[in-house]
Every structure is written in C-alpha cells, then in structure tokens.
Amino acid sequence: MRWPKDPKHRKPGLVYRIMRILARSVTMIWFREVDIVDNENIPTEGGIVYIAWHPSGLIDPMLMVTTLPGKLSIIAKDSLFKIPILGRIIRAAGALPIIRPTDVGPDNSELKKHNANQLSSVSQAVANGGQLIIFPEGTTHSESDIKSARTGAARIMQMALEQCNEEGLAPPTLIPIGLHYSDAHTFRERAAVIVERPMLLPELPDKDEDEEVRRQWVRDVTTDIESELKRASHASESWNNRRLVWRARSIVHAERSRVAKEKLTKPTYAQSVLGARRMRAGWEFLAKNEPQTTEEIENRARLHFKTLDKLGLHPLDIDVKPAKLTSRQYFKNLAMWIWSASWMLGIVTWGAVIGNIPPYYANRQLVNLAKRRGLDKEVVGTLKVYSSFVLFPLWWIIVSIGVVMLLLGSDSPVRELLASHWLLIYLTKIPLVLAGLVLLVCWPLSGRAHLVLHANATRTWRAIKRWKRWKDDGIDWDGLHLEQASIAQTLVTLGDGLVLPGDVEWKTPPTGTDDSEMVSYRLALPSND
C-alpha cells in the first residue's frame, strides 16, 4: 500500500521515523492487506486526539502509527519510562507518561497531584498541535462490543480546549478510528483503518464555572465517545451476530454482481468493511421496525450457514461454482500452484529459510510458552508481533556476519575455492562490510518474495480443493445455490428500500448517534401511469 505522507508541520523526528519504518515492515509481513479509508477527514490545523476500540493489544497502536500521518503519541504507564534505555526509546517514539487513577489508589494525594500534572502536560501537547492516540476503554479485550469508556479522553480534550482558548491556538479535534481485522491473531490476514469524521463537542463551560458543570461536560463527551466507538467498530452483542452480518454482506455482494451480469470479484477489505457497515445499519433498523420479517430471514440464514459449516463449505464456494466444470479450470490452477511451489523451492527459499525460519521458530516457541502460561489471546497476538521486532533483525545481523565470514573470511576454505576460478575470484575482492550489508537486505526481501509465492500457492491449492468438492455429487449444489440466492435476493430487496450509509441521500449521524438511527425508508418513485 501507499503510506500517507507526513504534513510539513507534523513531520516527526528521525528516531520516530526509523521506528515507524520497522513497524510498517512488520505490519506488511503480518497482514497481507492493509487499507486506510477517509483519511481526508484528518484536519490540517490544530491538535488531534484519535480514539479507537482496543481488541488486539499492541497491534492496535502499531497499526495506527503505521497508517496515520505525522507523529503520533501514545500514553504509556509512568513506570515504563523509569526503565533504562527502554524509557528513552519509547519517549523518542512518541510515548507520553501517565499515572492511571487505578495505579494511584484512593488515599495517595501526592500521586494524584502528579497524575494531574501529567494529564496537564499531555493536554498541552495536544493544544500545541500534537497528535495523541487514546483507547478510552482502558484495556484490551476480545469481546464483540465496546466496554464502558473512561473519562480520560474527555478530560484531556477539556483541558486542551481551555489551553487553546487562553493562548489563541487552533482548537484540537477528536476523531474516532474504526479498527477492523479479518483476524488480527492469524498470520497474513487483512486489516482496515477507517478515519471517521471529527466529533462535534458540546459548548465548553468556563473554567470558573461550577465544578459539577465541568464534570457533567466530561461525562456527556464520554457518553458520546462510547457511542462513536460502537458505530466506528460495528459493535454487536456477539461474535456470532458479527459473523452473520459479514456472511450476509458477502452473499449480497455476489447477488448484486449476478444482477449486474458482472464477474464476481473479491472486494478489498476496506470495501468489505463498508459493506458490513451498511448491512449492520439496515438490519438493526429493520429489527426495530419489522421484527417479524428480520426474524424469519435470520432463521433462514442461520440454518443455511449452519448447513454449509457442516459440509465444510463457505458461501463463496456456492457463489463461484461454474455452471459447467471443465478440466481446464483444474489444470490452470494446478499449473499455477506448481509454478509458485517451484520458485519457493528454488533460490527464493534458500534466502527465506536461512534468514527467517530460525527467528520464526524462536518466535513460535515464545508464543507457545505464553500460551502454556495461560495468557490472553490478545496478549499472545501482541507478543507474536512485537517479539519479531527483536528476533528477526538480530538474527539477520548474526547470520549476515556468519555467512560473510564463511564465504569471504581470510581462513575460509570457500574463499580459496573462489580464488581458484578466474571469474569467481572477483567475489573475494568485495569488502566484508559491503557483503554483509547486501546480505542484510537480502534476508527480508527473500522472505517477502517467499510470502508472495506462498500466498499464490495457498490460493491455487484452495481452488484445486474447491474444484474437487464441486465434483462431489453427494452435495445438493443446486439446492444450496437456490437457497443462498433466495436469501441474498430478499436482503437486496430490503436494502434497496432503505437509505443506508454510502447512499447519495444518506445523512451523516450527529455525534453520539448510531447509524441505524439515521436509516430511513426510501421514498417510492412516482408511477408513470
């Protein structure tokens, strides 16, 4: 993907840019697709406080740092800054220290005062045009819905706005971020970062206003923050409901392609996220206004998808099944698989294996140890990603030095063999440092090439297996196709009768209002009769 350019007035320092390069490298290895949508919602003036839900530990801030322009600061526990070396690194990377109220305790007035001073410093940074990432839930979690938001983000915005008013600075903006993962804990999955429109905040009370009035402002903004996070993250009561929405979106996409007589193509993950947003908004609106209709469709859909699960099928297997199976389809995918596998087993694999397999398995052992200790899934996923920051570069340095000394070292028998050949002798004249630097670059590049080939091999192998399943006469393919198409047609008909997010007539919900509350019935066009 194309990473967004940093605005001149928000250009980060050297250390931050280096760490962001590393983060982007890991991000592009971990995710096979990363999309950023609506980044034009980012204002050009004033500070920014980004808020997002927190489903995937340190993966969440890493993804935001890699996709959002400029230097982003993250609030971290004060104790981390007291650790030698680490404290300097995370401060240079943009982290800001804070003592959380839960760390202070009810009776420690001195620490409470220190916390207030730190909060004021953070607010001043935002007032001066800084960009801050806050996860209002206060903790990472694996739930499908949003946890109760804490007041920290609202308090920082209140103080930053007051400081801007006093100093005549451009006011800061509060922007929700939708973080979406196909599966953040699975290697080579997809992610999308949706930049929502800035929140409209209530009128700021005067600093000399009654304290209860000021606290009420914070509570009101916190309530709006919670609502905006629900909307941005497509919050649902359960993961089963989220899964149902996504499956419904996929069959609707296929049905619209059939109606338009277009070839069914796989949408980008960002397009899928936006499609799921439309589906969720329309479904929740109809559930309130036509509960009997939605209940009937939901029961049909759940029964159909349950049948597919029992057969080990995906809705896409039904939608892409050709009317007539030919051997040409099979051999085309087989040839592509053989081509990808051949290159993987060639020179590409040697670089990938030597440079990346040892740290990969070291990372895997570390993750298995974390699992045996009963750590949460989110913590394990975070550990898997962030330990790679250390393990992979460290191994690349070690193996580069080792290979250079093995091939070009003064006592190397390989060097003597190279020197005995009139052409290969020129290799022995390469400076050791230069050879090491070349190898240092080759390891990650070969790993990247191997991932691309592996993706092609995996995709074509799945196509081969799908073709073989299509040959299974024991499955009622026609019945499955008719039922899935019928459900999709019903959903399309219902959706076409509504004004949904993304439509020309759509009205953006006011701050604190869910998408479903702005859905409306589409007015019928007047008849020509």
Report pLDDT digits (tens) over 180-233: 999 866 777 899 999 999 999 999 998 888 889 999 999 999 999 999 999 999
Structure tokens at 7: 């605005």
**Between residues 404 and 376, the one the model is more confident about:** 404
- Do 261 and 372 fall within a single domain? no
pLDDT at 123: 93
Q: Classify residue 154: in a domain, yes or no.
A: yes
- Do 49 and 107 fall within a single domain? yes
pLDDT at 377: 65
- Do 169 and 69 fall within a single domain? yes
Nearest by Cα to 80 from 57, 61, 103: 103
Q: How confident is the model at residue 101 (pLDDT cuts 50, 70, 90)?
A: low
- Do 157 and 200 fall within a single domain? yes
What contacts 529, CB < 8 A, 6 or more positions away? Answer: none
Nearest by Cα to 466 from 322, 300, 352, 295: 322
Tell me which residue has tokens 């896409």.
316
- Do 350 and 310 fall within a single domain? no
Q: Classify residue 480: in a domain, yes or no.
A: no
Nearest by Cα to 29 from 62, 68, 73, 71: 62
pLDDT tens string 295-317: 999 999 999 999 999 999 999 99
Please give the tally of structural domains in the chain.
3
- Do 313 and 360 fall within a single domain? no
Mean pLDDT of the chain: 87
Question: What does pTM read for this prediction?
Answer: 0.83
Beta bridge partners of 98: 77
Among 39-48, 289-298, 518-527, name the one with the lowest average pLDDT.
518-527
Give the structural domain span for 66.
Answer: 8-233
Percent of the chain with pLDDT over 90: 51
- Do 19 and 163 fall within a single domain? yes
Query: Which H helix or E strand runs over 48?
Result: strand 48-52
pLDDT at 525: 46
Structure tokens at 223: 């309530």
- Give the C-alpha separation, 305 to 212, whole Å: 52
Total count of residues recorded for the chain: 529
pLDDT at 139: 80
Percent of the chain with pLDDT over 70: 90
Q: What is the CATH number of the domain that holds 42?
A: 3.40.1130.10
Sheet containing 48-52: order of strands = 31-37, 189-195, 173-181, 48-52, 131-134, 72-77, 95-98
CA R_g for the chain: 27
- Do 315 and 429 fall within a single domain? no
Q: Classify residue 478: in a domain, yes or no.
A: no
CA 522 vs. chain centroid, Å, equals 33
- Do 342 and 257 fall within a single domain? no
Q: Is the pLDDT of residue 529 over 50?
A: no
Q: How confident is the model at residue 51 (pLDDT cuts 50, 70, 90)?
A: very high
pLDDT at 80: 62
Q: Is the pLDDT of residue 527 over 70?
A: no
pLDDT tens string 231-240: 999 988 788 8
Q: What is the mean pLDDT of residues 158-181?
A: 95
- Do 417 and 451 fall within a single domain? yes
Q: Provide the 10 A C-beta neighbour count for residue 351.
A: 18
Diameter over CA atoms, the chain: 96
Q: Classify residue 479: in a domain, yes or no.
A: no
Q: Where are the alpha helices (DSSP H) in 420-517?
A: 432-470, 477-496
**Between residues 57 and 326, the one the model is more confident about:** 326
